[in-house]
Structure 1
Amino acid sequence: MKKTKEILVTSFALFSLFFGAGNLLIPPLLGYNSGGSWFLVTIGFMITAVIIPILGIYAHARLQGTMYDFGKKVSPLFSVVYCVLVYLISIAIPSPRTASATHEIAIYPVFGTSPLLTSAIYFSLVLVFVLNRSKILDFIGKFLTPFIVIMLLLVIGIGLFSSEFITNMPNLNAPSFVSGVLEGYQTFDAIGAVVVGAVIIVSLNFKGQVSFNVRKDLIKKSGLIAGFGLFIIYAGLISVGAFYGTEINIDNALNNDMQRAVLLRGISLAALGSFGNMTLSILISLACFTTAVGIIAGTADYFKGLFGDSQKIYVLTAIIACLFGVVVGQLDFHSIIVLAYPVLLFIYPITIVLIFLNVIPEKFAAPIVFRTTILVTLVFSIPDVVNFISPSKILKNLIDFIPLSHYSVGWLLPMTVAFLIVNLFKIIKNK
């Protein structure tokens, strides 16, 4: 009974640490724009927003160390640089984004206050939780997440029950499946997996001496349950967005950011009536808050370990991350998404490959395999990033030459070929 309770608490905590601003705001608009193709879009979205992140949790269950262990087979220097880069990105984009979403959807419509005031109060509360590090897992898993899940299921369940199941024509910039895959990037869930997975490991260590295999089993089962929860919620939000496409008008919204807010508010009102606005405000605040706590706690954990397990470094990192959140959190949600996109095109492929290599059997993931596949992934990710920042005819011709580059996954086929060739060479050499 105690073990089951521990699995559920850890599952809820994992779900909540994953589920933040983008996870709530992105799927409904994706469903709205996908119209009748919402099911195919959902499948693509699940790959980058559920399957890969849960594989990241499985990798943590096998390693049971820090994020450093994900990349150490490439080289110690690469792993340190990768970790620092991911944590800096995490406190620079997804963490402030949670404050921005909270302000725009939950705070400003009710109180009309400035984003600076919202961000300052928001990250002050985040700092309180992060400094009480040993209690994070239990508080989020036992209290906050069940409340978030119940409200989400209410909005989705009642929303689907009361909709007419009529959809618009698709309005996407890429094929439905590809659109789902690329929008899954924007949830930051794969990066979240390597960050919050480490938070879970540290939190379990606070609970006392538990054997490696017991922790491994606990993390794997918790990851599976959390992944199933994410799947249900994402599929529900995408489908509700698609089915309300003919009932809610978002064309008057100034940008995608406002469209997301208008659509989500419209769905909540349709599902829960006048109670919907208050429900949405509480829901977005809690979902964003738990994610910000997880990101900053994970970042502080890493730098604490990097500097000889120093508690002073932990506190200093948490304070700096929160101050940075206050500054960047004043930007609107859409601006942060635009800022994030080229960064994601660079770091996401590397993260996906590292997760993949840490999940497969070790005989197929020797250090030479790590080094080759990461190098190839890095090289073939750069054209996507540069083309997004500064498009040119020469670069366009190069991208046309690389398979799948039109869909911003030009790294995928070269990485797969490199992985197979290096492993084939190893097999031949051993024989």
Structure 2
Amino acid sequence: MEELHDLNSKPLSLKDYLVVSSLLFGLFFGAGNLIFPIHLGQLAGGHWTTAALGFLVTAVVLPLLSVLAVSVTRSEGVYDIGKPLGPTFALVFMVLIHATIGPLFGTPRTASVPFSVGIQPLLPTDWAQWGLLAFSALFFGAAFLLSYRESNIMASVGKVLNPLFLLLLFSVFLLAFVSPMAKAGQQTATSEYQSAGFFNGFLQGYNTMDALAGLAFGVTIVTAVRQLGKTTPKSNASVTAKAGVIATTMIGVIYAVLIWLGATTLGHFKISADGGVAFNQLVTYYLGNVGHALLATLLTVTCLTTAIGLVAAFAQDFHKHFSKVSYHAWLGFMCVASFLTANFGLDTLITWSTPVLMFLYPFTITLILLSIFSPLFKRDSVVYGFVVAFTLVPAFFDMMVSFPPVVSQSALGKTVATFQNYLPFANLGMDWIVPAVIGLVLGLTVHFLRPVMEKSASKVEN
């Protein structure tokens, strides 16, 4: 068998790693990554450090693990992560992930957040709907053009838009550190965060959708690293993992500061309806009317970087599995669909995305962990099957009780809530953990006992 060699046999420079890390940072850090940590800080108040630890697990550690899962399994997308459970499951899982972070919730949010927080306050009330229509059309038009050529993604995101975003963001941080609104540790926390700050912070991290996005961005990341000449699976995976550590560490620091900032705003403002309003208040407090322009620019830049990654990953994955439709056609579909969904508004998107995330995240977490440790059990589909099967029911329960009242308070919703109460940790939204562990134990038991049983059966036959 012919040995594979990289097109570039030389070790990558620090600059190369920083460029890939910048790409990863830009793909991960988008709309929700700004507004949800600030809102979490307001909810947690003086308990912001405990809530931050829980948030960092799902919003930083899990995305890093998703990148490592792609590296360990040498995958190129969501489909490969679910493949041990068969092509049908892998395809369904891929479609659900891309639909969630794509045209249904995640990608439309990249346009609706910068508009509702940065642009809408500057417009007359009567202009809001038309303003969103025009802004979202221009936004997704730009995303389409910047991702039209796959080779331009790294240049557009990693080298140009990202540094601009960081410059704008850290200017706000500097002002807040020099003159904080209040002492974060002295602010009153809501009742939920006084008793279960860590777990509520953990669940808030779902809203960033970054663990889902990490799997979906796999194909984009792998393609970008190949452009640096690291074309063999082993070296490509190594570069991806190292760059992932750099990028997610940087994101974690920013999250911690944003959560702290959210807690300090309680010294001057009440808890806002969402983090977008809180961020608007924060920037306006320090910069006045100029803050609105800065905020609009900052949000638009960071959300555009994420939108580029999302639409490109969607088009690449769907073209790979539905090849009769071209990459550019899938790209156009994604941008048009996201534009249409964005015009339902930010509040609607957040309300209906929460139950879907409560359903998908348990599967995503288990599949990421199984992928990372898969060499220990040779990626045996039996282990995967037991874990996913035992996770299905509690994940469905979590989804049903998280829907708006029209669903959660229906007869079916109330019945589900009754059964859910019998599961451990249901009150924390973590009722899937014990069933998943039971499935893992059973799956590993079958995996390790099967060779022994087959060997014994073979002796009996002989």
Q: Write out aligned runs for 1:22-421 (5 A).
A: 22-62=32-72, 63-91=74-102, 92-112=104-124, 113=127, 114-163=131-180, 164-166=182-184, 167-173=186-192, 175-208=196-229, 210-249=231-270, 256-257=273-274, 260-272=275-287, 274-308=289-323, 312-364=325-377, 365-388=379-402, 389-391=407-409, 392-421=413-442
Q: 1:398 to 1:127 in 2, by over 3 A?
A: same
Structure 2 counterpart SS, 1:65:
coil
Q: 1:334 to 1:173 in 2, by over 3 A?
A: farther
Q: 1:293 to 1:417 in 2, by over 3 A?
A: same
Deviation of 1:173 after TM superposition, in Å, equals: 3.6
List, as ranges, runs of 4+ consecutive aligned residues in structure 1 with deviation greater than 6 Å.
none
Structure 2 counterpart SS, 1:381:
helix
Q: CA RMSD in A?
A: 2.0
Which amino acid counterpart does residue 98 of structure 2 have in structure 1?
Y
Which amino acid counterpart does residue 71 of structure 1 have in structure 2?
G
**Cα separation, 2, equivalents of 1:305 and 1:361:** 25
Which amino acid counterpart does residue 236 of structure 1 have in structure 2?
V
Query: Is the contact between residue 369 and residue 419 of structure 1 (CA under 8 Å) also seen in structure 2?
Result: yes
Which amino acid counterpart does residue 217 of structure 1 have in structure 2?
S
Q: 1:250 to 1:32 in 2, by over 3 A?
A: closer
**Cα separation, 1, equivalents of 2:138 and 2:289:** 27
**Cα separation, 1, equivalents of 2:271 and 2:357:** 27
Query: Is the contact between residue 387 and residue 395 of structure 1 (CA under 8 Å) also seen in structure 2?
Result: yes
**Cα separation, 2, equivalents of 1:333 and 1:262:** 12
**Cα separation, 2, equivalents of 1:284 and 1:77:** 38
**Cα separation, 1, equivalents of 2:222 and 2:166:** 23
**Cα separation, 1, equivalents of 2:354 and 2:163:** 31
Query: Is the contact between residue 77 and residue 217 of structure 2 (CA under 8 Å) also seen in structure 1?
Result: no
Query: Is the contact between residue 60 and residue 198 of structure 1 (CA under 8 Å) also seen in structure 2?
Result: no
- Identity among equivalent pairs (%): 29
Query: Is the contact between residue 172 and residue 179 of structure 1 (CA under 8 Å) also seen in structure 2?
Result: no
Deviation of 1:82 after TM superposition, in Å, equals: 0.7
Structure 2 counterpart SS, 1:186:
helix
Query: Is the contact between residue 152 and residue 233 of structure 1 (CA under 8 Å) also seen in structure 2?
Result: no
- Structure label with greater radius of gyration: 2
**Cα separation, 1, equivalents of 2:238 and 2:87:** 28
Which amino acid counterpart does residue 169 of structure 2 have in structure 1?
L
Which amino acid counterpart does residue 210 of structure 2 have in structure 1?
D
Unaligned runs of 5+ in 1: none
**Cα separation, 2, equivalents of 1:170 and 1:360:** 38
**Cα separation, 2, equivalents of 1:203 and 1:327:** 30
Greater shift, 61-70 or 365-374, is seen at 61-70
Match of 2:6 in 1: none
**Cα separation, 2, equivalents of 1:395 and 1:219:** 41
Greater shift, 147-156 or 391-400, is seen at 391-400
Query: Is the contact between residue 349 and residue 377 of structure 1 (CA under 8 Å) also seen in structure 2?
Result: yes
Which amino acid counterpart does residue 376 of structure 1 have in structure 2?
F
Query: Is the contact between residue 38 and residue 242 of structure 1 (CA under 8 Å) also seen in structure 2?
Result: yes
Q: 1:33 to 1:208 in 2, by over 3 A?
A: same
**Cα separation, 2, equivalents of 1:370 and 1:172:** 38
Which amino acid counterpart does residue 12 of structure 1 have in structure 2?
S
Deviation of 1:273 after TM superposition, in Å, equals: 5.0
Query: Is the contact between residue 159 and residue 270 of structure 1 (CA under 8 Å) also seen in structure 2?
Result: no
